Chains A and B, each alone.
Chain A
């Protein structure tokens, strides 16, 4: 399996090539090279997946961890060193498939979507950089390698959000995304430092081996503020994950990140990078479960709250990409909850499997939704719902594929989202009824806002478009990825996931829990039905309802003022009450005292300067006077 390293290296070489000489190539050529390279990665990833799952992965009854490639990159101490390598196990192989598939679709789609944009070559170079970083992240053999690629995805995301760098809003959004996630990464880094200080290793295999024995035994009972240090370390590591995966209250960067080109949103801010936090917790799952179950419970509650919170906001947004962004936050929160409620081993680890399952299916249908939205935006040149409507007549392929994705995310049988969401609800149902009912309610909201989105774009009256700007179906480069992803969105739920992925790497048997399934189907259908009533035809009913809701509606529209809260913290607290006073202190107190010292020296030298006037008469006078004084002193004493 040594060739698996090529999956990571190829995009990096593409990045170097396109970054250095891309500008000299014709845009189409650069795009094709990028796409073909990504195609190669996808082929390799599928080969690896096939070989792993059907040939070499299973040893006895359990899935093994294969490390085909690993070397010491930087040695800190004899025990602590950063390795770079490739770790193949069920979740990393699954991620390879997800990332390369979505990335390839986005590469193809962008050939059409980004056509004629300035910086086309740069765009493809950055896409390659992102793919490289994301692939390196999922195959990381140790937590520090993950941190390295974690930072790299952050930078690629920053560069791609700010792709339209002349647009101030894009620049602001990219900055916000980077700084918020950097803040979260600070927690991640400190968590790594604490964890590695006690366990003396960064290696995932050593950390998780034997029910995370190393972590549970090495902390020696240290506590801080009533919580064990292991809990602190793992909570801080989760903070990093919460930043990337946009958990409340660190979610504020994701909606703004929609300033980037839409295919980028599909790849980075829907399917791959934003699930890195989920992947991190999954990767460390035994450690969380055995060493810090409290943190896992916290994750479950944070996730459940975020799911509800984001869904409520998604209902009122009018920018179609923002609706999708909040829906992404909500769906990632589902995955987090699933991990939080999960237990370890066999069927008890249902939540773990469900989380990965939902990650897998969500990647396809959410990428499809974003690419569909991109197709719509491409046609009408606007992000706002009010500029859309009746588009089903103009864009049949987009219409059908978008509807499929909406069915999938709403969790309608037999689309993929149904199966994965059902497993999450089933996992929550037994252990955490309160969380279950929250998620159940969110499932209804999800169905509602997604179908509100669908009807508003493709139905909602007989909107006429002027002859000149008549919307039309997108070119085949954009339509083909939509169709392929639609196929994935329909069928990927049929994969018997529990055979491949489980918390203890032992396959187990699951079945659909029909009680839970029917509950979720009922609420999903209700949501769709309500959306159909309100938005299928143009009407004033939605506005009237909004009027009645009053403050709640405004709060949701304003995203519960979280941006304002953060803005206050950064602008007022940090800038005005920390940085400005420090600047003043530095100028006036520190530098002032230095200048004062110089001033005193200068003044005192001026004062005694008269003594060295250079006038000989003066010196003689002093000389005589001095001699007299000394003589008198000698004489009379």
Chain B
């Protein structure tokens, strides 16, 4: 059996087991055991992948298997991974794992975790498959639970937010569907297999001209591309902690990954021709998101706009279309996934105790909950790109990579994107200064407890991952960078 299938089977097994029980204790045990198994599986996969890669440095994808699904239309279920998907699987496992601990005291835990597992099936499935049909299917599987998770367990204007998020993402996936069907019919041979389309077939340029924007936009909506990002602040603000973590940490990465794997990989000519339009939009995202975050007062809004800025940088770097910038883009996905999950875990922790997310109503939390506050500072420092944490290596790889492009247009855009490092510092330090430092604002906060052990597991786990990537970036970068070569070759062959 292919090891990749376990990524889908374990959550399915977890769902099955969850149906059988009602006790909180058993539910937690199932979730912890399952999430740990997934985490271990990802680590094993990384090791196996690196070993296989050493044996076979040429193959684009490893661990490929295929099962025919519907022969008349040549639909099959094909799995396979390269360095990029392995990295994304690792990220997903870390976040699924820490998310479980961050939702330790959920009410209606059984139902919550059922949907949670379903969501992770969608995420994992998306990253292991390499045919467009299954990718799209898992993509939708990941979107639907989101509606219920926000609508039922959310806070604030949850129905509105859930509806908005789902509808906007569905709108995006409508474009995507059109694009995928377009690829299916125009590539010369009816197939959904990515490798086959990329290596043996060719989509004529006149079709690329409409399929490329459709797919890029479709995935871009999920990657919070300006001006289709407004689902993100409302959605994240209303979602429960673990869902925010999973959504911002992993689900938004589906967008960047899809743009990269489908739009650019399959349609390099159109990417060269039309990339500049999206480059402008992503450039706007980067600066616009950061400026918006500066004046927000709700912690989750600040983080959501910061995500718009950081995820904008991901798409921005992908569109720079050289090896360094693209490596940086994937690293930025990892880095943003980890730190934004950490942010949401901490915001959830703080909100659970203070019952407010308004930064004007908090202050001096460092004195009250030092552990959580120090973690928040670390998350902030990662976000503003402190060397030694993951944000720095990712951003610098992007900036250096983007700058290697000749031409005034890209140089100027890169310089504009660089400005985000200052604006990020402004909103991070503003938030940290308001909520953690200064005198205690509300005396009811004085007796709040610091992080509990399960919250500590969640935050420390994420911090360890952030620090690991910040200290040893070359390991991550190399694995990713090698897998980018096929795409770069295709782009260069244009």
Residues of chain A having any CB pair with chain B under 8 Å: 72-77, 80, 82, 144, 148-149, 151-152, 155, 158, 162, 165-168, 171-172, 174-175, 178-179, 182-183, 185-186, 189-190, 193-194, 196-197, 574-575, 578-580, 582-583, 586, 590-591, 594, 598
Report the Cα distance A583→B294, complex, angstroms.
9
Question: In the complex, are the beta carbons of A175 and B364 less than 8 A apart?
Answer: no
Which B residues lie within 8 Å of A194 (CB)? 403
- Indicate whether A186 sits within 8 Å of B421 (C-beta atoms), given known contacts A582-B288, A582-B291, A583-B296: yes
Which A residues lie within 8 Å of B403 (CB)? 193-194, 196-197
Question: In the complex, are the beta carbons of B437 and A165 less than 8 A apart?
Answer: yes
Question: In the complex, are the beta carbons of A182 and B421 less than 8 A apart?
Answer: yes
- Indicate whether A80 sits within 8 Å of B477 (C-beta atoms), given known contacts A74-B393, A172-B433: no
B204, CB-defined interface residue at 8 Å: no
Mark contacts of B437-466 with chain A using CB atoms, 8 A cut-off: 1 yes-contact digit, 0 otherwise: 111000000000000000000000000000
Contact with A578, one of B291, B388, B396, B415 (Cβ below 8 angstroms): B291
- Indicate whether A168 sits within 8 Å of B418 (C-beta atoms), given known contacts A76-B397, A151-B387, A582-B291: no
Contact with A579, one of B295, B367, B397, B439 (Cβ below 8 angstroms): B295
Question: In the complex, are the beta carbons of A186 and B474 less than 8 A apart?
Answer: no
B436, CB-defined interface residue at 8 Å: yes
List 17 A-B residue pairs with CB atoms under 8 Å apart, sorted by A's residue number.
Answer: A75-B477, A80-B400, A151-B385, A151-B387, A152-B388, A165-B438, A166-B367, A166-B437, A166-B438, A168-B438, A179-B426, A193-B418, A197-B404, A574-B294, A582-B291, A594-B164, A598-B164
Which residue, A76, A80, A158, A189, has most C-beta atoms of chain B within 10 A? A76
Question: In the complex, are the beta carbons of B292 and A579 less than 8 A apart?
Answer: yes
Report the Cα distance A80→B403, complex, angstroms.
12
Report the Cα distance A190→B437, complex, angstroms.
32
B253, CB-defined interface residue at 8 Å: no
Report the Cα distance A406→B437, complex, angstroms.
37
Report the Cα distance A194→B414, complex, angstroms.
11
Question: In the complex, are the beta carbons of B418 and A190 less than 8 A apart?
Answer: yes
Mark contacts of B420-435 with chain A using CB atoms, 8 A cut-off: 1 yes-contact digit, 0 otherwise: 0110011001100100
Question: In the complex, are the beta carbons of B324 and A171 less than 8 A apart?
Answer: no
Question: In the complex, are the beta carbons of B295 and A575 less than 8 A apart?
Answer: yes
CB contacts under 8 Å to A, within B454-494, are 473-474, 477-478
Question: In the complex, are the beta carbons of B386 and A186 less than 8 A apart?
Answer: no
Contact with B399, one of A151, A174, A193 (Cβ below 8 angstroms): A193
Question: In the complex, are the beta carbons of B414 and A193 less than 8 A apart?
Answer: yes
Question: In the complex, are the beta carbons of B230 and A175 less than 8 A apart?
Answer: no
Report the Cα distance A175→B427, complex, angstroms.
10
CB distance from B172 to the nearest CB of A (A): 12
Contact with B422, one of A151, A152, A182, A580 (Cβ below 8 angstroms): A182
Question: In the complex, are the beta carbons of B292 and A186 less than 8 A apart?
Answer: no
Closest B residue to A176 by beta carbon equals: B429
Which A residues lie within 8 Å of B294 (CB)? 574-575, 579
Report the Cα distance A172→B471, complex, angstroms.
30
Closest B residue to A136 by beta carbon equals: B387
Question: In the complex, are the beta carbons of A76 and B421 less than 8 A apart?
Answer: no
Which B residues lie within 8 Å of A189 (CB)? 399, 418, 421
Contact with B291, one of A171, A179, A579 (Cβ below 8 angstroms): A579
CB contacts under 8 Å to A, within B203-254, are 227, 229-231
| Across the A-B interface, the 6 shortest Cβ-Cβ residue pairs | A148-B387, A165-B437, A591-B230, A171-B437, A579-B295, A182-B425
Contact with A168, one of B164, B392, B439 (Cβ below 8 angstroms): B439
Report the Cα distance A197→B230, complex, angstroms.
36
Q: How many residues of B contact A (CB 8 A)?
A: 52
Report the Cα distance A580→B294, complex, angstroms.
9
Report the Cα distance A583→B230, complex, angstroms.
11
Report the Cα distance A62→B415, complex, angstroms.
40
Which B residues lie within 8 Å of A197 (CB)? 403-404
Closest B residue to A150 by beta carbon equals: B387
B151, CB-defined interface residue at 8 Å: no
CB distance from A159 to the nearest CB of B (A): 9
Question: In the complex, are the beta carbons of B474 and A171 less than 8 A apart?
Answer: no
Report the Cα distance A75→B331, complex, angstroms.
13
Which A residues lie within 8 Å of B295 (CB)? 575, 579-580, 582-583
CB distance from A487 to the nearest CB of B (A): 37
Report the Cα distance A256→B215, complex, angstroms.
51
Question: In the complex, are the beta carbons of A155 and B421 less than 8 A apart?
Answer: no
Which A residues lie within 8 Å of B397 (CB)? 74, 76
B3, CB-defined interface residue at 8 Å: no
Question: In the complex, are the beta carbons of A186 and B227 less than 8 A apart?
Answer: no
Closest A residue to B397 by beta carbon equals: A76
Report the Cα distance A158→B386, complex, angstroms.
12
Closest A residue to B399 by beta carbon equals: A193
Question: In the complex, are the beta carbons of A193 and B433 less than 8 A apart?
Answer: no
- Indicate whether A73 sits within 8 Å of B473 (C-beta atoms), given known contacts A151-B387, A152-B386, A582-B292: yes
Question: In the complex, are the beta carbons of B426 and A171 less than 8 A apart?
Answer: no
B168, CB-defined interface residue at 8 Å: yes
B47, CB-defined interface residue at 8 Å: no
Which A residues lie within 8 Å of B230 (CB)? 586, 590-591, 594
CB distance from B177 to the nearest CB of A (A): 18
Closest B residue to A196 by beta carbon equals: B400
Which A residues lie within 8 Å of B320 (CB)? none
CB distance from A244 to the nearest CB of B (A): 15
Question: In the complex, are the beta carbons of B418 and A186 less than 8 A apart?
Answer: yes
B419, CB-defined interface residue at 8 Å: yes
CB distance from B73 to the nearest CB of A (A): 31
Report the Cα distance A144→B403, complex, angstroms.
15
Closest B residue to A152 by beta carbon equals: B387
CB distance from B391 to the nearest CB of A (A): 11
Question: In the complex, are the beta carbons of A179 and B422 less than 8 A apart?
Answer: yes
Question: In the complex, are the beta carbons of B439 and A73 less than 8 A apart?
Answer: no
- Besides the contacts A193-B418, A591-B230, what 19 more A-B pairs have beta carbons closer than 8 Å? A74-B477, A75-B478, A76-B400, A77-B401, A80-B400, A152-B386, A166-B367, A166-B438, A171-B437, A179-B429, A182-B384, A186-B419, A193-B403, A193-B414, A196-B403, A575-B295, A579-B294, A579-B295, A594-B168
Question: In the complex, are the beta carbons of B292 and A166 less than 8 A apart?
Answer: no
Which A residues lie within 8 Å of B425 (CB)? 178-179, 182
Report the Cα distance A149→B478, complex, angstroms.
23
Question: In the complex, are the beta carbons of B364 and A166 less than 8 A apart?
Answer: yes
B334, CB-defined interface residue at 8 Å: no
CB distance from B79 to the nearest CB of A (A): 30
Report the Cα distance A186→B147, complex, angstroms.
41
CB contacts under 8 Å to A, within B317-347, are 323-324
CB distance from A362 to the nearest CB of B (A): 28
CB distance from A433 to the nearest CB of B (A): 39
B167, CB-defined interface residue at 8 Å: yes
CB distance from B454 to the nearest CB of A (A): 21
CB distance from A605 to the nearest CB of B (A): 13
Which A residues lie within 8 Å of B437 (CB)? 162, 165-166, 171
- Indicate whether A73 sits within 8 Å of B291 (C-beta atoms), given known contacts A172-B433, A186-B419, A598-B167: no
B89, CB-defined interface residue at 8 Å: no
- Indicate whether A72 sits within 8 Å of B474 (C-beta atoms), given known contacts A165-B438, A186-B421, A579-B295: yes
